[in-house]
Amino acid sequence: MRKILTISLAGITLLLGAISASALEGQFSNPRYKAQGRLDFCFTFGRNCGQPVADTYCRIQGYERASRFDAVRASPTQIIANGETCAGGHCTTFSRIVCFTSAAQRGRGIGWPQRID
């Protein structure tokens, strides 16, 4: 009986650990720029691509950073720095971004980058 109780408690502990760990991640499929067009893979045209954009997107959503992301060719996309559109076969977007935070819950998030002319 004691062995069954020990195994049950271990299973419950593992389950609770898995639940709390998954609460620290958020997955975003086909992320969009301000709920509009697909988010471009680069911060500005052809520069600062991948991780910097994924991290910024995660901070906007209230997470600390991106832990994973996948890219795919797509057109049109919108640049995170200013909302400008990339059109054509050279444009890349995210098929998903997985965000992470070490806090007990998501934060408030930051605003979208503002265009400075």
Q: Identify whether the C-beta of residue 96 lies closer than 8 Å to the C-beta of residue 30.
A: yes
pLDDT, greater one: 82 or 3: 82
Residues contacting residue 50 through CB under 8 Å, at least 6 positions apart: 41, 42, 69, 71
pLDDT tens-place string over residues 34-93: 999 999 999 999 999 999 999 999 999 999 999 999 999 999 999 999 999 999 999 999
| pLDDT score of 21 | 47
Q: What is the pLDDT of residue 2?
A: 58
Q: Which residue has the higher pLDDT, 91 or 23?
A: 91
Describe the chain by its helix, strand, coil percentages, rounded to 5: 30, 30, 40
pTM of the model: 0.76
Q: Are 95 and 27 in contact (CB under 8 A)?
A: no
pLDDT surpassing 60 at residue 19: no
